[in-house]
Each structure stands twice: as structure tokens, then as C-alpha cells.
Chain A
Amino acid sequence: MALSSSEPVAALKRRLEASGNFLALADVSFDVQQGEIFVVMGLSGSGKSTLVRCLSRLVEPTHGEVWLGQENLLSATERRLVEMRRKVMGMVFQSFGLLPHLNALDNVMFPLRMAGMPLAQRLKTGREMISLVGLQGRERSMPHELSGGQQQRVGIARSLAVNPELWFLDEPFSALDPLIRRQMQDEFLRLQRMLQKTIVFITHDIQEAFRLADRIAIMREGRIIQIGTPAEIMLHPVNSYVASFTEEVSLTKVVTAGSVMEVIPADWTGGEGVHEIDAAVPIEALLPRSIAGTRSFVITREGEGRVGLLRSEVIAKVLANDTIQRGAT
């Protein structure tokens, strides 16, 4: 996906500001892989919400291209767009966007109704979605009778009702209390393991970003300043702005075993008490055993078997790095 104009950004910006407008997004270019959680992270006003709205064309970008598979979304007609939204895209909003005059189940079934699905089928799908997000028994509740967390569950169920491939989440948990937020993040990860959607997730919360992301794009003033996996961003921030973000996150939580492992040496015997660890586990989880004396962990990946080796010295190095960084600031 790319939004670009032939004009240099600085000139464009000046021209727009002179005419009383402002440049919301420029020079933004990235692609999202199928089944990936792509998190866009930035402070308020950095253009991240505008970005996701450009992808779904809730906001019309003035220049650029948005490719979904072989199709350029920006050249889609209004009609085609409606069809895509009915079949391919789902979106969750920060302020939930529930219709106040419909109950939870009706809200979930709303996109299906708009698409003209018969009632019986609608009810079946709607109930499935409701139970998917764990709201059984609250189908008849009106939005104002539900707590914030429950309302967002309805929002999530609604966005998934049409079984979309693309799932946009615009700061879905920002309006929730920290405890509920945490719970919802777990819930979200559980759903994603089950559904394997292609996700663009917007957040301003660095912890959330590092917790959920496969890859992160960091935005500032309408531009993407770095794209990478959490570990990459953590270990190699492009500038001090990104570094100042990552200060708040503990390295050991972000760096996964897979990202710092080495290839298993040919002469490696393993010895007794080999610990097999999934590549996605953050090294934080390995600390207790490492301190207790385990010298190395065997890294596995689902479907691939043993893929690498992680020595405790490496863990200690990451830990030391983290401490130095923190001490320095």
C-alpha cells in the first residue's frame, strides 16, 4: 500500500498550509502480509487514524494507491466499495460506534442485514459471533446497559460478523480501563490465533503495540519513521524519538527467543535436561530457569521442529543491554 504524490513533501506541506489545509499523511508506504498483526503506533495527531481510514476509504486520500491483492481500492466505485466492506473488511472503533437503538445481537447482525442476508441465517451467525466474544446471555441488552469492555466485545463481534479477511482496529481498547484493556488484549490474541485474519491495529500505547504486534510501524507527523518487528525496533531504533518510546518497554518482554537464537551447531549434543521452547516466547519467561542454571534452550517452531539454540549468555547480554539503556537515561 502506498500513498504518494510526485510533489516533494516539504513543498506540498507548504502549499497546503498556505491554503488553510494541512498535510495529514505523506510519504507513507508499507505492506501487510496475510495473517499478520500489523500495528501502527504513534501519538495523537500523528495521522495513524487517518491512515487506517485511507485504507478503508472512510477518508479519501488525494494521492496514492491502496492495493488489496490485485485491486487498487482507490479506483473502486462506490458500489464496489460497499461490496468490499460487506465482504472483505471489518473495523472496530475506539468509541465503539454501536447503534444506540439496537440491542447487542441486532448490532452484531447489522452488517448482515445491510447486506440483505435472510433473518434465520443472520440469527445463526449473530449468535455464533456473540458466543465467540463471550457475551452469551447479553444478546438482548441495549448498548447503554453494557460496560465499556462488553460494548467493545459487541463492536468486535460486529466487525467479524461478515467474516472479513481484513480486520481494522482503530484504538479498540484505548477507551477501556487498564485491567479490562489487558483482558481484551488477551482475548484479541486468542481470537487471532483462531481466525488468522490480516490485521491493521492502531494504537498509541507502546506496551500494547509490543504486546500484540508481529510488525510495528511508528508514525510521527503524518509519516512512518520506522517499520520492523518489535525486537528490531527495540534493538535498533532509527532515532532518539523511537528510542524514547522504547525506553518504557522492557527488552526482555519484547525480544522473543526466536529473534536472538543461533543455528544449532552440528556438534551440539544437548546433554541432559534440554528445554524446548517455542520461538514466540519472550526471553523474560526464560529468566528464572536461566538463573537456576539452565545453560541453553532449544528453540522450536510449530511445524518446523527444532530450529535453533539459545544460550543463557545471550539472555544475560540482552538483559545487560536493557539495564544499560535504562541506566543511561
Chain B
Amino acid sequence: MWLVVLAFIAICIAMRPALPWLVTYPSSWLLPVPSIINSVFGFLIPLLKPICAVLAIILRAALDACSAALQWMPWPAMILFFAILGWLARGWQLALFTAVGLGYVVMAGYWEQGMNTLSLVTLAVPLAVGFGFLLGVAAHSSRYVRGITMVVLDLLQTVPAFAFLIPLLLLFGFGPIVGLIACLVYAVAPMVHCTMLGLERVPPSLLEAASMAGCTRRQRFWHVILPTAKREILTGINQTTMAAFSMVIMAAIIGGFNDVGWEVLNSMRKAEFGQSLLSGLVIAVLAMVVDRITFGMAQPARDRTQTTLRNGLRMAVILGLPLFVAFLLNASPSTMAWADKAQGVIDPSGLNRVVIRFVQDFSAPLDAFKVFVLYHFMLPLRIGLVGAVTPFTWGFAWTFQVSTIYCGLSLSLAVWLWFRGQWQGGAGVLIGSTLLLLGFNGFPWPAFVIVVTALAWSVSGARLASLAGLGTCFIVGAGLYGPLGQSLYLCLLAVLICMFVGGLLGVAAAKSDRFSAVLKPVCDALQTMPQFIFLIPALMFFQVGELTGLIAIALYAIVPPIRYVEYGIRSVPADLVETSRQIGCTAWQRLIHVELPVAKPVVVLGANQTIMAALSMLPVAALVGTKDLGQQVYIALSKADAGLGLVAGLSVALVAMISDRIMRATVSNTGGALD
């Protein structure tokens, strides 16, 4: 089959000069999907608008009440409240961390914005948790609901959040309500997942024991299933909170609300790096505090002996003490005024100067690095070696002779692999080298569709192949082949970087407990950060451009390879390690020949996660000026063009789903071979 594919690619390439439509998809063939979607929306929106208006009024009132309550509490009382929560959740270390972190928020002068962000989160989380829980229970008890839910969840997790901001924008107009609703929609998914997982994990013997104890169905649910699934459900609340938080920050992009995300975005646009660092750090601190507290509460309590009376007393202390302090402070304005002096003591303009000078001092090496990466790694993938290699960049011209040598080398490598029995490797080399020669921009789209479909076919079968074929045809047909190529090349580079660097870090962490202990909090912190944050350092050093986007993507997507590689190597069975030592492998041989092959399925899963992370970061990275699918979403957002936005969003989702399915199929293939 691959022979046919290769022949087809060769024909496509050979025909390129004669038939230019092979490379740039002709605009007359475009599918009118965006306009159809727009007309559907044009029809639906007037119908839905009154309902939405009512909904918006209700939510707005709730939001105002919530933020008024949070603003009414003087900040010392609020910090006290969170510190007590932290203490209850995890002990005094977390209380201290919370107090210091929130103290920083005050000192950086972002308390008010921070509270606005939190009020959005506090409103969204209970709604999302409640709804997600109900949906999870429904999906658990009915196979029909389950099927639908799984599809919706899949879409929710792969369509970039920006894309579904657009229809909401059309329905609700600009403002925080859109953010709130987007946040709700986005945060429901982890709750549903965790609820279903928790309910599924209740051991069957417990269910039987419950029935034999004479439980009715309802009693069984409330007294047995729910308490047993409690841990997963609490984890779901934690993840939902984090998703809501991250989405609130993202929703700031449409503005209209004085929250931290808006501050970050604004200062980035004005190139005020001091401010953006400070406010970015505020987001990071808030994210970590919220995460640690909700995570701590999801852990099983250490002592179980407290009675309900004690619990009541505890609740009274948690709520009463901060309220008491709040009343005291509100009663004496002079004390409060004295305390308020702490607000905003950190001077952002000073920081601005420091950062700008720092960047200037290092501008020469930074620029050199930028140029090097751009010419040697990014351009060849984008426009191919044919276009990227010029005397100016690589020191020699891409002449006919060079081309011949390149083709000869890759051909002979492929043939050599073929003769060693690795015909897949051979085909891969040929396709890869063609891709490198022509770049994603010069690769003919029919060839692209065929390659993806054939790959899907060979790892899984007809069903996946049809998904892959139709999906890529849809993207190409919507006229997004150009941006798709851009996305793929950015993602590919980012994933390669992540797998390489992250893989090395993961191996190191698996080999050294101490290194692992250092790396773990860093990974935890990276994972709790909203995606936005990663733009700040990248932007600071490399200005607007694709390299910045690449770095931001790589920063965001580096955690999964570290985690999975470490986990994969650490979970190699001890007897295998012992056997290989007994046989006389050196540590290096053991790693290459035993541990990595055994850990391969886990590592592939990690690669899959990396790809997913990179794809989800694309629209965010579009903010700093990439030209990919994410940028299309972003353009659609600024034009409030629901059709384009949804099509572009769906395209990202399709890419994500296809690559996810292919990777998973690969894992199950190798897993099957291992057994």
C-alpha cells in the first residue's frame, strides 16, 4: 500500500509546475461551510437572544453580588480566610504559602482585579460542578446519554476555547458574562469525566454487599456509591476549578471586565514587561493557591474522629473569624487606610526598566539565537530546504547538484531500511525527506490527505482511515490548508523539542530521586498555570513572531513528556531491571535496550499528550503573531465571524482527534505485541 502512496506523492510533486492547484487549493473549490454556519446563526440568534438576555441579567446580578461580597471583605480578612482554608486543607505550610502569595497580590497592586477574577471563578465553579456531576451520573446510568456525552466531551476538549467564545459573543454581547458562560461550558468537562470515573471504579463486590445489606437503589447510591467515589469527585472539583480559572483568564481577551487576565493582556500589548510580569505572577499565585487548597481538600482526611459538633465548630471558626476581622477593619477606616499602604508597593515601572535593560544587554546573543533557529529549523520545515537554503543563510545555494545528492542519500537510506525488513521506516524516511525538501507550504495537499489516511489505515483500519480522510478533506475544503500546514509545522517542531528536552529531563528524573524531587514542583506549577502566562517570557525576549509562539508552545507542552517518561521508566518491573543487571548491561545499555523499549507505550501516550497540549496552545500563541489555524480563530474572534471561527476551531479539533486516535492505536498495537 505504501508503494502506491509513495507513487502518488511522486506524481503530485512531478505535476506541481504544471498544475499549481496541487499546492494552493483553488478558491473556487471552497466548501461554503462558514457561510452556511453564519446563516444558521443568523437565523438562530434572534430566536435565542431574548432567552440569553434574561440569562445574562440573572448571571450579571449574581456576579455583581459575588464580586461586591468579595470586594466588601477587606483584604487582610480575605487573606486570613484563605490561610485558614489552606491550614485545614493541608496544614500550616499551605497556610503560610497562601498568606505570602496573596500578600504578594496585594503588594503588586492587583488585589481588586484578582478578586474580580475570583468572583467569576466562584460563580462558575459551583454551577459547573453541579451540572457536571448530574451529567456524569446520568451518563453512568444510561448508555445512551453516555454515548452523546462522550462525543460532546471530546469536542469540548479539542475545540480551542476561543472558537466557542464567538457564538457566545454573538448571543451575549461583549462583557464578563460571555467569559462566565464560556468558563462554565469549558469547566464542566473534567467534572463529568471524574464523576464517571469515580462511579465506574466502585468495586462490584461493594455493590453486591450493599444490595445484600438491604439497600434500596437510592440508599445504595447515597450511602455506598457516592462515599466510595468521593475521592474522584473531589478531584473533579479541583480540576474543574483549575479549568474555570484558566478559562476566565482566556476570556479576558474579549475584555469588558477589570480582571487580572485583562491586565496581563493589556500590559503585553503595550510592551510593559514589568507590569505583565507582575500581573502574570499574580495569575500564577492565584492559580497555585486555588489549586493547592482544592487539591488538599480532595485528599482523605488524616483523622476521622471528629464529630459533627466539631465540624460545626470548625465551620464557625472558618467563616466567623475572617468576618469578625472584616467588621473590625470596616469599622475603623484609619486602620484600614494604614493597611492599604501595602497595596501596590512594588513599582512596576522600575521593573520595566530593569527588564528592558536586561533584554537590551542580551539582545545580540538573543538575536543570533533567533536567526539561527529561524533559518536552520523553522524555515526549512515551512518552505522546505529548496526555499530556505540560500547562500545568505546556509552559506551555499540549493543547486541542482545538492538536490540530487540529497535525494540520492534519502533514497539509499530508505532502500537500506527496506532491505533490513523495516519497510515502514523506509517509507517514513522517503515521506519525511520529501516533506523536508518542499516544506509544509510546498507539499501538495492531495498527497497530504493520502499520507494521513494511509497512516490511519495502517495503524487502525477503515474506520479511523475514513475519519482521517474526511477530516483532512474538510480542512482542505474549507480553504485552511495553508494555515493547517503552519499549525502542523509549529506543533511538530514544538513537540520534537518537548520530546527531546522533556525526555532527557524525564530520564534524569527517573534515575535520580533528588532531581525528581526538584523537578516535581516545577512541573506542578507549570501545569497549573493558565496558558496565557507562557507568552510573557517568550514575548519579552523574542518580540512578536513565530519563534515566540514556538517557545510559548514548547513551554506549555513540556510537562507531559517529563512526567510520562519518568513514570514509564520508573514502572519498568523490578525483575526486568534485575535481570538486565545480572546479564551485565551497563546503565546506558539498560536504558536503551530494556527500559525505554518497555516504557514505549507510556512514552507514546506522553507524546500524544504533548501533541494535545501543543495544539491547545496554538490559538493562544496566535496572540503573538503566528500564521496558523489558531490565528484564523483569533481573526474570526475579532471580526465576530462565527462561521470562520467554528470552522477553524473544528479544524484544530479534527487535527487533535486524528492524531490522538492514531497515537492511541499505535499504543494499543505495541501493547498487544508486548503481551
- Give residues in A with beta carbon < 8 Å to B: 53, 56, 58, 82-83, 85-87, 89-91, 93-103, 110-111, 113-115, 140, 142, 155, 158-159, 162, 168
Contact = CB atoms under 8 A, between A and B. Distances in A.
B20 interface: no
B203 interface: yes
B228 A56 contact: no
A115 B216 CA distance: 9
Interface in B172-213: 203, 205-206, 208-213
Considering the complex of A and B, which 6 residue pairs feature the smallest CB-CB distances, nearest first? A97-B209, A86-B214, A111-B213, A91-B212, A85-B214, A101-B227
B221 to A, nearest CB: 12
Give the one of B205, B212, B304 with max A CB within 10 A. Answer: B212
B554 to A, nearest CB: 42
B212 A101 contact: no
A168 B213 CA distance: 12
| Chain B: number of interface residues, binned into ranges | 20 to 34
Contact of A115 (B210, B211, B212, B214): B214
Given A99-B224, A101-B227, A140-B305, A159 B212 contact: yes
Given A89-B212, A99-B224, A101-B230, A114 B219 contact: yes
Given A103-B304, A114-B223, A142-B304, A97 B206 contact: yes
B215 interface: yes
Given A114-B213, A158-B209, 6 more contacts: A58-B211, A82-B214, A93-B205, A97-B206, A97-B209, A99-B223
A58 B304 contact: no
Nearest to A87: B214
Interface string B218-236: 0100011001101000000
A110 B211 contact: no
B586 to A, nearest CB: 41
A45 B209 CA distance: 21
B206 A162 contact: no
Contacts of A86: 213-214
A85 B213 contact: yes
14 contacts: A83-B214, A85-B211, A85-B212, A89-B212, A91-B208, A93-B205, A94-B205, A95-B205, A97-B209, A98-B209, A99-B223, A99-B224, A100-B228, A114-B214
Interface string B36-50: 000000000000000
B200 to A, nearest CB: 16
Interface string B440-461: 0000000000000000000000
A99 B227 contact: yes
B209 A91 contact: yes
Contacts of B304: 103, 142
Contacts of B215: 82, 114
A130 B42 CA distance: 70
A56 B224 CA distance: 19
B224 A93 contact: no
Contacts of A155: 209
A111 B208 contact: no
A102 B304 CA distance: 10
A99 B220 CA distance: 11
Nearest to A164: B212
B214 A97 contact: no
Contacts of A95: 203, 205
Contacts of B209: 91, 93, 97-99, 155, 158
Nearest to A158: B213
B50 to A, nearest CB: 45
Nearest to A97: B209
A69 B305 CA distance: 45
Contacts of A96: 205
Contacts of B227: 99-102
Give the one of B208, B209, B216 with max A CB within 10 A. Answer: B209
Nearest to B305: A140
A85 B205 CA distance: 16
Contacts of A142: 304
Contacts of A140: 305
B469 to A, nearest CB: 31
Give the one of B208, B228, B230, B304 with max A CB within 10 A. Answer: B208
A140 B212 CA distance: 23
Interface in B218-265: 219, 223-224, 227-228, 230
B205 A97 contact: yes
A90 B215 CA distance: 13
A179 B216 CA distance: 38
A257 to B, nearest CB: 38
Given A82-B215, A114-B214, A114-B223, A97 B230 contact: no
Interface string B317-357: 00000000000000000000000000000000000000000
A58 B213 contact: no
A149 to B, nearest CB: 17
B208 A93 contact: yes
Nearest to B217: A78
Contacts of A99: 206, 209-210, 223-224, 227-228
Contacts of A113: 223
A98 B228 CA distance: 11
B349 to A, nearest CB: 55
Contacts of B230: 101
Contacts of B305: 140
Contacts of A82: 214-216
Give the one of B214, B215, B219, B305 with max A CB within 10 A. Answer: B214
A159 B209 CA distance: 9
Contacts of A93: 205, 208-209
Contacts of A101: 227-228, 230
A37 B96 CA distance: 62
A56 B214 CA distance: 11
Contacts of A159: 212
B228 to A, nearest CB: 6
Nearest to A102: B227
Give the one of B203, B206, B213, B228 with max A CB within 10 A. Answer: B213
B233 to A, nearest CB: 13
Contacts of B210: 99
A257 B112 CA distance: 90
A218 B589 CA distance: 54
Contacts of B223: 99, 110, 113-114
B273 to A, nearest CB: 50
Contacts of B208: 53, 58, 91, 93, 97
A56 B208 CA distance: 10
Nearest to A103: B304
B212 A56 contact: yes
A99 B228 CA distance: 7
Nearest to A115: B214
A140 B214 CA distance: 23
A16 to B, nearest CB: 22
A208 B210 CA distance: 27
Nearest to A113: B223
Nearest to A144: B300
B26 to A, nearest CB: 50
A102 B208 CA distance: 17
Nearest to B215: A114
A53 B203 CA distance: 16
Contacts of A87: 214
Contacts of A158: 209, 213
B303 to A, nearest CB: 11
B88 to A, nearest CB: 19
Contacts of A102: 227
A282 to B, nearest CB: 33
Nearest to A86: B214
Nearest to B219: A114
B216 to A, nearest CB: 6
A83 B212 CA distance: 10
Contact of B212 (A58, A98, A100): A58
Contacts of A85: 211-214
A89 to B, nearest CB: 7
A21 to B, nearest CB: 18
Contacts of B216: 82, 114
